Structure 1
């Protein structure tokens, strides 16, 4: 019992939701100044210490978006030829469909914006590997980059770029996010939605000599993003581990993994293209339920054998359909200008590679356990822990 409690305590913090470590931004540069539209998963904001009396450790669910506005503003810095640009307007909203908050920050710059320096550091003290996928829009052109701890600053030589293009800055901002097609609510003026922009990338000089490679590595980025999403999604890791905790022949394991892969690929695509729409408030408890169910099913399979194992051929595809919707939320959140079909393909490929790497890491030790006389007892112990953990997550995601 003590081991079960320790198991629960170890995973308590990660049980509430998928804290992705990724954020999404659109930056518009126009005559009025600089506008930043920043989209962040709401649960990520629990990591921020927004004041001296209440830290993130005391919070279970995020506060309203405006609560974090000062922290968001402090995470961005815009300089115009070395002089600080100031926030003249800000607004925030809830994006219920992807369980995220969105912030609009408008900066007035004191000079003529010949050279801009845009810096980002919001989550780097908490997650050194945090990444912000950013799309820059200027004079009808766009560029995608990634801001992270190694490259937290974007240098834009605006005057030189405009001269090379023989163009001038746009007269106004758009209030809609040109990087994502998100339905607007009453706080935003739909009449000012962005028109389609040209896809020719900007070619600014940057403080990072490898900046240009960002435009060529987007596919690799999304593969890695999918792999990390599997590795950091503890409920998915636990589910894959539980899937292997039954002593069966190799063809059954391959069949289960294939069925799970096909099923979650289907719902990942359907959810990404909004054919299937389920909010995280429904999907996350269902994923926890699959962990609870697979733990119980393992115990029954270890005791009764083939009749229960045959049932798994039906359960695994159903569980895969549920997990696929959960995989989609991070991909929906990111709108960094990479073509939608390719983004889906590379991300799903990363998910599969991440899943296969977990299986490769776990399968040999687990098979060796089953060669031991008490192997089934060990498997039953882990399965019981997994069932308890899944039940705890189900309660936590439903009532907290």
Structure 2
């Protein structure tokens, strides 16, 4: 019996919090209870001899805690560390110029060739990757998009597409429905006005038409995502109603001040951010976003380099799409001799990109040092990094730390 790999243990005010950073599960124990459990796990003697020193009620209590720790995978955790899904930006080019686009930082990279992408698909399929998400830029701008799709479809169990939907039409809707298991469409608003304020004229109508075409072609797994900005922040209810009307799954995402998002953060982000800091708590139900509230079930986790990686349009490995920045750039997948051994032996740990990524994780980041609630304040380390990089973190932290300390240790 042993603690999970990289377990986080923090103590404050007579309590100890244990957290598995790989699945987000956590538990709070009294210091007295934790000491018993810790001694039990670390004892060199037989566990049965250790537990028998206590009276019956204490044994039952400690064994109950141990069962909970196992259920939450805080002890005896089997981290397979298998790469199961990969996001691939097959292009950095796009037919839109959305105000908030973070991926615009990759526009310099252009497009890999058809044969290069086929080689990437071959490499990933040979090591057992099950799911591929094709993204961009806008994937449909590529002239070889249909060829690449057919090539990937033959090699992976699940094929996903992220698109702005403006190039979906009567000629390709059936092809997309036949070849993709699910399609995610970006809208970034809740009606024509808010969508087009960010994405451009006539985009909303094109999305509406694309969804109807996909539905008619038999595609029933469509999600619609919206990045929350100052323009659309008051429309969460309308966003859910719109998705209900379309029969799509709503996904809300946080704003990332990167690329054109950084250029336009005064307009798209700052006003909303200041309102939130001044007490306007935004709680987006039915989504992964939990702005300003303590996540009920999970702490900060990140599956980058464990079960998921992002391959940029430069064919280099990045932790995720939110961190496709030069400082997190890893090796070019086509220049790795044996990708299976590379992943199994964690060869990526030798890259500066990986080490820069690890340095922003909350248990290592200097801006989280000494904090007793660092693992609860945000479920995505990328946003904490970006807030710090662009000067928002101090205000963000100040507004939440006291509240979280009361919720966790009060």
**TM-score tier (shorter):** under 0.3
Q: Judging by fraction of residues, say which structure has more helix.
A: 1
Ranked by relative contact order (alpha carbons within 8 Å, sequence separation 6 or more), the top structure is 1
Identify the structure with the greater strand proportion: 1
TM-score (norm. length: structure 2): 0.23
